Structure 1
Amino acid sequence: MKRLVLIDGSSYLYRAFHALPPLTNAAGEPTGALFGVVNMLRATLKEKPDYVAFVVDAPGRTFRDELYPQYKANRPPMPEELRSQVEPMCRIVHALGIDILRVEGVEADDVIGTLAVRAAEAGIDVTISTGDKDFAQLVRMPADGRGGIALVNTMTGSRMDSDAAVAEKFGVPPHLIVDMLALMGDAVDNVIGVDKCGPKTAAKWLAEYGSLDGVIAAAPAIKGKIGENLRAALERLPLNRQLVTIRTDVPLPYRPDELCLREPHVEELRALYRHYGFNQALKELEAGQLAGNGGVAAVAEKEPARARGSGFVAPAAGPAPAPADPARAAPGHYATVLERAQLQALVARLRQAGQFALDTETDSLDPMRARLVGLSFCVEPGQAWYVPVGHDYPGAPVQLPLEEVLAALRPLLSDPAVRKVGQHGKYDLHVLRRHGVEVAGYADDTLLQSFVLNSSSGRHDMDSLARRWLGYETLKYEDVAGKGARQIPFPQVRVEDATRYAAEDADITLRLHRVLTPALAAEPGLEKVYREIEMPLVPVLARVEANGVRVDVEELRRQSADLSRRMLAAQQKATELAGRPFNLDSPKQLCALLFEELKLPALVKTPKGQPSTNEEALEAIADLHELPRVILEYRSLAKLRGTYTDKLPEMVDPATGRVHTSYHQAGAATGRLSSSDPNLQNIPIRTEDGRRIRRAFVAPPGRKLVACDYSQIELRIMAHLSQDPGLLRAFASGADIHRATAAEVFGRPLEAVTANERRAAKAINFGLMYGMGAFGLARQLGIGRAEAQDYIALYFSRYPGVRDFMERTRAQAHERGYVETVFGRRLYLEYINSRNAAQRAGAERAAINAPMQGTAADIIKRAMIDVDAWLAGHRARALMILQVHDELVFEVDEDFVPALVEEVKRRMAAAAQLSVPLVVDCGVGDNWDEAH
C-alpha cells in the first residue's frame, strides 16, 4: 500500500525551537529550531514515503475567525529568534524536494485533515507527523480497501494508529476527541471550555453520557461546583465543537497522489547546510545519502537502563544470531585489533592524537561484577578500533591476552595529559578500575554535555543523542546479540559483529562530542556548570559507588520476619473487617469489596474512569471506614519488606561484602542525583519502620558512620533568591525558621507560638516551594479551604518578597521557556506555554521549585567535589559512602571522627555564598539511623 506523510510544519518548527538549546551558526544567526526541523525531515525521508507534503498556515483570517472573532486573540507573537528561522526552513524544505502547502482562508490543520481523509479513502496509508493532540480525532485503522490514518510524534517516538491507542493516551476514542476538546477548551486558541474541566473530567463525562450532546442533556443533574461550571458554559459548547473540529472537506487544488517527492536541489542544499553549520547533513549529502538515518527523538527524563558499551547477560545462552545486516553501512572504517603489532600501532596513534573516545564491552550490566570482553577507541570521526579480549564462541579468532592488552594500554589510560571522552563513562571507569587500570584524564562525557545543555529534552543515551544531534540510527545491541530468550551474552557475539557495534560506540561518542562541545561553548553559563560541577563529580561518584556500604544481613532478616508477622496480622484484621477472606493485593477484589459491598464512595478514579484503589484513593476514604487504613498499613509493610529487607541481602557483593548503589547525574531534570540497584534515595524516614531500615547500614569494627546534612537548604535558597527581609532576618538570627514564620504570620511572640501554628507555618514554608495551593494546604492541615487560603494570604502579606519572587519567576519562565539555578543550570519547561491548563500549571509549579531544588543539587555536588579532594589524603581513615538528597554519609575511624566532622561541616557550608548562612548538622553512630 502506498504511503503519504503529512508534516505539520508549524508543529515541527515550534517543537524543535523549544526542544533544542538556542544554537547559532558561525555568523551568530539562530539555528536551534532549524537544526531540529532538518533532522526530523531527514528522519521522514529515510522512511521513503511515496508522497509527502509540508503544510503550514497561510497568512490572514480563516473561517474560524468569522465564527468567533476572539479566536487565537491571546496567542503571543512568534519570538523573533524563531521568526528568523522560518524563511531558511522553507528554503531547505523546498530544496529537499518537498512541496510546501498553504491554502488561504484555511488553517494548516484543515489542509492536513482533508488530504488525510481523501488519501485514506483512496487506499493510501497516511501518517501525520505532528505533536498536536487535536489530530487524534482523525486516527483510524485501515479497512475495506481504505488506508489508515496514524499520528507520529518524532519528538517522543510515539505512534497512535488505532482507537485503542488514542483511548490509552486520552481516555476516549478518536470519535470523541472533538467532544473532549470542546469541554476542555484551548487556552492558546482562546477557546473557552468548562472551567476546571480537564481531560480526566471530560473523559469521565463522555464515558458516562456518550457524547457532548449527552453531557449537555445531563448538565442539570451534575452536582457540585463542576456541575455549576458546566451549566455556565452550555451556550458556548456547540461553538467550541465547531472550532476544534478539523475540517476534512476543504477545496484543494491538488490530489494526495500528486504530492510526490521531487528531485532535490543539491547545490542549494549544500550551500544552506554549510551556511548553517549542519555538518552531518552535509556529509550525508556529499555521500549521496540525502535521506539520512534518523531524526530528533526525545522520550524519557532518565539515564538509559542499559548503558551503551556494556554487554548483556541473557537469561539463557542460545545459538548465535545471524550476522548484523550487511546492508546497513557503518559510518566509518572500523578495524579489529588481533595482533601485537596492531595493538602497539594503536597505542602510538592514541597517544599521538592526545584525545580519544573510549568505550568498554562487558558481560554484565553491573559495573562491580562485569568482566571485560573488549575495548573500543576512536580518534577521528569514521576511524575506530575494537580490541577483543574475551569472545569465546566456537571458532572465535585468537585474541590478545587481556593482561597483555591492559599492560599496553595502562600507561596511556592513566596519563592525565591524554584526554578521554566517553558516553556514560562512569561505568567504564569502574570496569577498568576493577581490572587494575585507574583512568586519569577523563575529560568529557557526551551524556553530561547533552544533559547540561537541556536536561528536559529527552533521553541522553547514545542511541537517542545520535538521532537527535547526528541524524544517525545506531546499531542496536539486539542487532548483534539477538532478542528475547535467544539473546546471547556479549562474549558469544561474533568478533566481526562486535567490532561494528563497539567501534561505532566510540565513533559516535566522538562525533557527539564534536557537536555538543561548541553548543556548550555558545552558552558560557552552562559550560561552567558542566566543567566545574558535572565533570569533576564523575570520578567522585565512582569512588563513592566503589566504596559501598556495609549492611547487617541478620538485622535485615529479623526485620523481614517482624514485617511478615505484622503483614499477617493486618491480613487477619482486614478479613475480620470485611467479614470474609479476600486478596489484599488484588485491585479488582478491593474494588468489589470497598465500593460495591461496603458502598464506600469512589473519590479517586483511574485515567479510564474506574474506581482507583491506589494510596491516594484509600487515604481519601480512610476516615469513613477502618478497612482502608488497614490495607494501607499492609501495603506499607509489604513495600518495606519487598523493596528493602528481603532484597538488600541479595544485593551484597560477595567480593566486597558491601552494597554498591549506582548514582545517576542525568536522573532528574533539576540536577538532583538519583540512585538505583538499590535505590537508597527513597528509604522512608517519616515512619519508625522506615527508619529501622537505616539501622541495617552499619560501620565495621573500629569505625563509625557520620551523617552530615544541610539544614533546611531549600528554604535558605528561597530566602536568598527572594531577598525577602523577613526570611533573611529569621535565618540570620538562627531562630527556628518555622516558629519564626508562625510568629510573623500569626502576629505573636516566638515563645507564644503553638505546636499547631508551627505545623501550619512549616506546611506553608515547604508547600509554597512545590507550588502547593489552598486545596493542598487544607488537606495537609485538615482545615477548610477558605482557612487555608487565609493562611497563604497572611503569609504573603508578611513575606511579600516571596510572592514577588514567585510571580517574577513565572513571568520569566513564560518569556524565556526556562529557569536557572544560582549557578546557571537551566531547566527548560516544555509545557510552560501549553494550551492545556493542567500542563501549564504543572510547568509553573516546576518553574518555582526548580531554582531551589536545582541550586540545592548544585551545592551538594560542589561540596562532594571539595570534600573528596580533602579525603584524598585520608582515604585509609575515612570514606564517603552515601549521598542521599541533602546528606552525605561517611565511614570513619573512631579517632578521626572529630577531625572529619569539623572539616566536612566547614567545606559543606562553604559550597555556596548565599545571603543566609548554610548550616550543616552532623551525627555519629554505629549505624546510619543513629548517625542521622
Structure 2
Amino acid sequence: MTRLVLIDGSSYLYRAFHALPPLSNAQGEPTGALFGIVNMLRAHIKEQPEYIAFVVDASGPTFRDDLDPQYKANRPPMPDDLRAQIEPMMAIVQALGLPILRVPGVEADDVIGTLAVQGAAEGMTVTISTGDKDFAQLVRPGVTLVNTMSGSRLDGDPAVIEKFGVRADQIVDLLSLMGDTVDNIPGVEKCGPKTAAKWLNEYGTLDNVIANAGAIKGKIGDNLRAALPRLPLNRQLATIKTDVELDGGPATLALRERHVEDLRRLYARYGFNQALKELGGAGDEAAAGANDASLRNTAAGYARAAQPSDEAPDPSLSVKGDYETVQTRERLDAWIAMLDAADEFAFDTETDALDAMQANLVGLSFSTAPGNGCYIPVGHTYPGAPAQLDLHETLDALRPLLEGPKHRKLGQHGKYDLHVLRRHGIDVDGYADDTMLESFVWNSSATRHDMDSLAKRYLGYDTIKFEDVAGKGAKQIPFSEVAIDDATRYAAEDADITLRLHRVLSAKLAEIPTLERVYRTIEVPLVPVLARMEANGILIDAEELRRQSADLSRRMLAAQQKATELAGRTFNLDSPKQLQALLFDELKLPALVKTPTGQPSTNEEALEAIADQHELPRIILEYRGLAKLRSTYTDKLPDMINRDTGRVHTSYHQAGAATGRLSSNDPNLQNIPIRTDDGRRIRKAFIAPPGRKLVACDYSQIELRIMAHLSEDPALVRAFASGADIHRATAAEVFGKPLEEVSGNERRAAKAINFGLMYGMSAFGLAKQLDIGRGEAQDYIALYFSRYPGVRDFMERTREFAKANGYVETVFGRRLYLDNIHARNQGLRAGAERAAINAPMQGTAADIIKRAMIEIDGWIAGHAEKAKMLLQVHDELVFECDAGFVDTLIAEATRRMSAAAELRVPLVIDSGVGDNWDQAH
C-alpha cells in the first residue's frame, strides 16, 4: 500500500532541543537539536515511503491569533542556541530530498491534518511523525501517529484510549478541558487528563460535560462551572483544521533525489559522523565512531543525572540474556527440575488475543536468574512450524509447580496470566510478586508501569517490542504465527526482565517499610481477588437492553418527526451542514457560536445558546442525547457478552489512578450514568440469575469520615460517633442551632462546605454553588473553622508536611507524590496543596475498600456455591447470591467492610437487595 509520512518539523525541533544535552561541533556551533532531527529523518528515509513531507510553521500570525490574542502569548523567545540550528536543519532537510511545507495563516498542525485526511481518503497509509499529543485527534483508519524519537505509536482507538483514556474523536474535548499552558490556553483549573477523561467517559462529549456541569460536585465542579464561558473557544483553538487550501495534495510529495555532496558537507561540518559514513565518505571510521559514541555517552550522562536513584544496582541486570527454546520432553523435565530447585521464578504466558477471557495459550516462558530464560511453545500454527510439545502434556507436567505454594511466582501484570492459566485448567498458587505493582507502589506517578517503560527506567534496558516480532498495523500477525525463534527471544526476555525488575524494585520497597506493607498486605493479595471477580462477571439482560434501545429509537423517531414538523420540511438531524442551513439561513436564528473557520456552529453549546428562541434546537439536543445513550450503552453492552459464559467481564486496573483507586474498562462499569432516569435504566439490565439476588454494599460518606479521623477534631468526631445526619450536625455547629431547627438551606450550605473543603473549595466557589455573596460564603467558612478548628489545623499540617517531604501519605502508608508542591507557578503550587489535602482521603478510601475486598474474598471462598463478589464501583461492592443467603451475606460483608480500618469514627455501610443492580443500589 502507498505510504505517506508527514513529519511535524516544528514540534521535533523544540523537543529535540530540550531532550538532548547542549552538544556542539568543533567550531562551537550548537548541534543538539539538529542531531536529534537528523537521526529521526534518517530513520524515516530508511523505510522508503513513497510520499513524505517536512512541515514547519510559517512566520506571522494564524487564524488562532485572531480567535484569541492571548494564544501562545506567554511563550518565551526562542533560545539563541535553538534559533542557530534552524537554518542548517532546513538545509539538511532540503539536501535529503524531502519536500518542505510552510503555509501562512495556519500552523503546521493544520497542514498535516489536511494532508493526512486527504491521504487516507485516497487509500494511502498515512504516518504522522510527531511528539505532539494534539495530533491524537487525527488517529483513524489509515492514519497512525509515530513518535520516532521515543518509539511510541498510536494506531487506532485502543492505543489512544490506553494513552489518554478517551477515543480519538474525544481528544479535542479532552484538550479543551485540560487547557495547554504551553499555548496559553486556560482549561478547567485542576482538571488534568484523568479528570477530563473521566468526565468524557461519563458524558461522551464536551457539550454533554457542559450540560451536566451542575451535577459535578466539589471544587473541581466549581472550577468547571467557572470555566464554561471559555470552553467553546478552547475547542476552536484545539481543533486541527483538515480543510486548508494547499497548492498540491499528497501525490505531489514524492521523495526526491538527495544531494549527496551537500549532505556530506553539512554532516562533516556538524560532526554527524555516523550519518557521514552512510554516504561513503566519512574518512577515519574510528574517529567517526568515537565522536558518535561521545554524543551518546553525553546524552546518557544527562539522563542518569536526572534520575540517580533509578540506576540499576547491579550491571548484570542490564545485559542481554541467554534463552532456550524448549521443544522436547527431556528439556522440559530439565527446566522443571531447575524451577523446582529455585525459591522463586518469573513466568509469563503468550496468547493469541488480548482478552484474557477468550485467549488461547500459545506458549509459556520462565526465568530463575537474571540473564537466563526459556520459552515453551505449544500453539504456533504457521506453515512449516517445527514440532512442539503437546499443550495438555506440558501443563500437566508444570501443574505441581504452578499450583503448589512452595515456590514464589513473579509476574508483570500477572492477573492476565492467572486468567489464561485458569481457563486452561491451572489455578496458580503462590503468586507472590508483581513488578507492575511494585513500581506503582514505589512511585505511582514516576513512569508508566508497563514492562518496556520499567525496563528502560530501572534497568537501562531496551526490550524487544511486540511489533518487532509480530509486525505493525494491518500487517500485524497473531503470536501463534510468529516464528518460534523470534518468539523465544521476545517471550523468554519477558520472564527474564520481570525477574530482574523484581530484584531492583523489591530492594527499593524494602527501604521504606510502610510502602512494602502497602504492597504486601493490599496490592499483591488483591490480584487473585480481582481475577476471581473478573472471571465471575455479571449477567446482562440483553432483551432488556434491546427494549431500551427500541424505546430510545422510538423517542429519537418522535424527536425527528417533531423536528420535521417544526422545520416545515424533512432534513437530516445528523448533518451539521443541513442544520446550519435550516437554523441560520431559513429560520434566521442568531449564530452565537462559530466554528474555527467562522461558520455557524451546530454543536451542543451553540444549540443551547439559542434554545430559548425556538423549540427546534431543544428537540435536536434531545435527539442527540438519546442517540448517544443508545450507541454507548444499550446497543454496545449486548455485544460485550462473553460467548462462553453469557456474562460481561470487566477488567480492573490497579496501577491506574495515583491515589490507588481502581478503574475498569471493556466495559467501564464505573461510569454508567445514574443521574438521569434513562441512565439509571441501564443498571436494570444487570441482573441476577433465577433463584439469586444482587446485593450492593456501599460505604457511607467514607471520605468525610476519614477527614474526621485524620483531623481528630472533637466536634466532627462526635458528630459521626452519634450517628446523626452529618450535614445537619455540621449546620447545627456552624449556625449555633439545635439539630431540629436547622433549615434545608443551612443543611445544604453545610454539605457544600463539608465536601468542598476536601477539594480545596474557595469562598468564590462556595458562593457560586450556593448562589450567595462571596462575603457571606467567606463568613460560612470562617464559622466552620471556628467550630471545627481541628480540620483547619489538619489542613495546615498536611500542607507543611507536603512541602517538607514532597509527598503525603494515606492512613496505611501509601505515598502520593506532589511534583508541583514547590512550583514557582502559583497556580500549580496551589493545585498541589489542594491535592495534598484531598489525596490522603481518596487514597485511604481506596486502601480501605481493597482491604475489605481481600477479607470478604477469603470468607466467600467457603461459600462459593452460594455467593460471588462481582463488581467494585467507587465505594460500592456488588455481589450475587442465593436468595436464602442474602441476610448472611449482608451481615458478613458489612462486618468486614466496617472492620477494614480502625478509625476514630465508625465506618457505616448502606446495603440494598434486588433482582437487578438498579433495585440493589
TM-score normalised according to structure 2 size = 0.68
Aligned counterparts of 1:670 and 1:755: Cα–Cα separation in 2:
34
Query: In the TM superposition, what is the alpha-carbon distance from 1:168 to its structure 2 partner?
Result: 9.6
* 1:457 aligned onto 2:426: no
Contact 2:311–2:458, Cα closer than 8 Å, also in 1: no
Q: 1:613 to 1:856 in 2, by over 3 A?
A: farther
* 1:598 aligned onto 2:567: no
Q: Give the secondary structure class of the aligned counterpart of 1:872.
A: helix
> Which residue matches 1:441?
430
Aligned counterparts of 2:867 and 2:174: Cα–Cα separation in 1:
53
> Which residue matches 1:116?
85
> Which residue matches 2:810?
821
Query: In the TM superposition, what is the alpha-carbon distance from 1:262 to its structure 2 partner?
Result: 7.1
Amino acid at match of 1:701: P
> Which residue matches 2:654?
665
* 1:687 aligned onto 2:656: no
Query: In the TM superposition, what is the alpha-carbon distance from 1:280 to its structure 2 partner?
Result: 7.5
RMSD: 4.9
Aligned counterparts of 2:400 and 2:532: Cα–Cα separation in 1:
21
Amino acid at match of 1:754: S
Aligned counterparts of 2:332 and 2:465: Cα–Cα separation in 1:
27
Aligned counterparts of 1:573 and 1:653: Cα–Cα separation in 2:
39
Aligned counterparts of 1:683 and 1:108: Cα–Cα separation in 2:
47
Q: 1:343 aligns with which of 305, 322, 332?
A: 332
> Which residue matches 1:555?
544
Query: In the TM superposition, what is the alpha-carbon distance from 1:554 to its structure 2 partner?
Result: 1.6
> Which residue matches 1:867?
856
What does 1:566-585 correspond to in 2, within 5 Å? 566-574=555-563, 584-585=573-574
> Which residue matches 1:719?
708
Q: 1:791 to 1:264 in 2, by over 3 A?
A: closer
Contact 2:380–2:484, Cα closer than 8 Å, also in 1: yes
Query: In the TM superposition, what is the alpha-carbon distance from 1:355 to its structure 2 partner?
Result: 1.1
Q: Give the secondary structure class of the aligned counterpart of 2:647.
A: coil
> Which residue matches 2:721?
732
Q: 1:510 to 1:109 in 2, by over 3 A?
A: farther
Query: In the TM superposition, what is the alpha-carbon distance from 1:725 to its structure 2 partner?
Result: 3.1
> Which residue matches 1:646?
635
Aligned counterparts of 1:818 and 1:617: Cα–Cα separation in 2:
43
Q: 1:747 to 1:892 in 2, by over 3 A?
A: same
> Which residue matches 1:481?
470
Aligned counterparts of 2:175 and 2:866: Cα–Cα separation in 1:
58
Q: 1:660 to 1:279 in 2, by over 3 A?
A: closer
Q: 2:400 aligns with which of 411, 424, 434?
A: 411
Aligned counterparts of 2:756 and 2:584: Cα–Cα separation in 1:
32
Amino acid at match of 2:82: G
Q: 2:362 aligns with which of 370, 373, 387?
A: 373
Contact 1:171–1:203, Cα closer than 8 Å, also in 2: no
Query: In the TM superposition, what is the alpha-carbon distance from 1:821 to its structure 2 partner?
Result: 1.4
Q: 1:431 to 1:726 in 2, by over 3 A?
A: same
Aligned counterparts of 1:205 and 1:687: Cα–Cα separation in 2:
26
Query: In the TM superposition, what is the alpha-carbon distance from 1:865 to its structure 2 partner?
Result: 0.4
Aligned counterparts of 1:703 and 1:201: Cα–Cα separation in 2:
47
Q: Give the secondary structure class of the aligned counterpart of 1:669.
A: coil
Amino acid at match of 1:116: Q
> Which residue matches 1:524?
513
Query: In the TM superposition, what is the alpha-carbon distance from 1:832 to its structure 2 partner?
Result: 3.8
Q: 2:530 aligns with which of 517, 541, 545?
A: 541
Unmatched 5+ stretches in structure 2: 1-9, 22-31, 43-75, 95-106, 112-128, 134-146, 154-170, 187-225, 239-268, 274-290
Contact 1:771–1:845, Cα closer than 8 Å, also in 2: yes
Query: In the TM superposition, what is the alpha-carbon distance from 1:404 to its structure 2 partner?
Result: 0.3
Amino acid at match of 2:817: Y
> Which residue matches 1:925?
914
Contact 2:313–2:504, Cα closer than 8 Å, also in 1: no
Q: 1:45 to 1:502 in 2, by over 3 A?
A: farther
Unmatched 5+ stretches in structure 1: 14-39, 51-106, 126-137, 143-148, 161-166, 183-195, 209-254, 288-330
Which sits farther off after the overlay, 792-801 or 378-387? Answer: 792-801
Q: Deviations over 1:662-721 (max 9, x none)?
A: 111112121111111111101122222222222222222222211111001111112222
> Which residue matches 1:426?
415
Q: Deviations over 1:1-24 (max 9, x none)?
A: xx99999999999xxxxxxxxxxx
Amino acid at match of 1:395: G
What does 1:63-142 correspond to in 2, within 5 Å? 110=79, 112-113=81-82, 115-117=84-86, 120=89, 123=92
Which sits farther off after the overlay, 704-713 or 488-497? Answer: 488-497
Q: 1:360 aligns with which of 349, 352, 355?
A: 349
Q: 1:550 to 1:721 in 2, by over 3 A?
A: same
What does 1:306-325 correspond to in 2, within 5 Å? none
Query: In the TM superposition, what is the alpha-carbon distance from 1:370 to its structure 2 partner?
Result: 0.9
Q: 1:123 to 1:913 in 2, by over 3 A?
A: same
Amino acid at match of 2:461: Y
Contact 1:671–1:857, Cα closer than 8 Å, also in 2: yes
Q: 1:179 to 1:283 in 2, by over 3 A?
A: closer
Q: Deviations over 1:15-60 (max 9, x none)?
A: xxxxxxxxxxxxxxxxxxxxxxxxx99x98996999xxxxxxxxxx
Contact 1:707–1:931, Cα closer than 8 Å, also in 2: yes
Q: 1:799 to 1:46 in 2, by over 3 A?
A: farther
Amino acid at match of 1:599: P
Q: 1:265 to 1:650 in 2, by over 3 A?
A: closer
Q: Deviations over 1:471-513 (max 9, x none)?
A: 2222222222222222222211111111111112112211211
Contact 2:590–2:610, Cα closer than 8 Å, also in 1: no
Contact 2:650–2:667, Cα closer than 8 Å, also in 1: yes
Structure 1 consecutive aligned stretches of length 4 or more whose deviation exceeds 6 Å = 3-13, 43-50, 138-142, 149-156, 167-172, 176-179, 196-208, 587-596, 605-625
Q: Deviations over 1:99-128 (max 9, x none)?
A: xxxxxxxx9984633653575477599xxx
Q: 1:776 to 1:485 in 2, by over 3 A?
A: same
Query: In the TM superposition, what is the alpha-carbon distance from 1:647 to its structure 2 partner?
Result: 1.8
Which sits farther off after the overlay, 738-747 or 694-703? Answer: 738-747
Aligned counterparts of 1:799 and 1:592: Cα–Cα separation in 2:
59
Aligned counterparts of 2:917 and 2:368: Cα–Cα separation in 1:
46
Amino acid at match of 2:435: T
Contact 2:591–2:606, Cα closer than 8 Å, also in 1: no
Contact 1:204–1:608, Cα closer than 8 Å, also in 2: no
Q: Give the secondary structure class of the aligned counterpart of 2:648.
A: coil
> Which residue matches 2:378?
389
Contact 2:349–2:417, Cα closer than 8 Å, also in 1: yes
Q: 2:686 aligns with which of 689, 692, 697?
A: 697
Q: Give the secondary structure class of the aligned counterpart of 2:671.
A: coil
Which sits farther off after the overlay, 623-632 or 672-681? Answer: 623-632
Contact 1:595–1:601, Cα closer than 8 Å, also in 2: no
Aligned counterparts of 2:623 and 2:849: Cα–Cα separation in 1:
36
Q: 1:8 to 1:120 in 2, by over 3 A?
A: closer
Which sits farther off after the overlay, 606-615 or 694-703? Answer: 606-615
Q: Give the secondary structure class of the aligned counterpart of 1:681.
A: helix
Aligned counterparts of 2:172 and 2:691: Cα–Cα separation in 1:
57
> Which residue matches 2:755?
766
Amino acid at match of 1:484: G
Q: 1:523 to 1:678 in 2, by over 3 A?
A: same
Amino acid at match of 2:674: I
Q: 1:613 to 1:739 in 2, by over 3 A?
A: farther
Query: In the TM superposition, what is the alpha-carbon distance from 1:876 to its structure 2 partner?
Result: 1.5
* 1:846 aligned onto 2:815: no
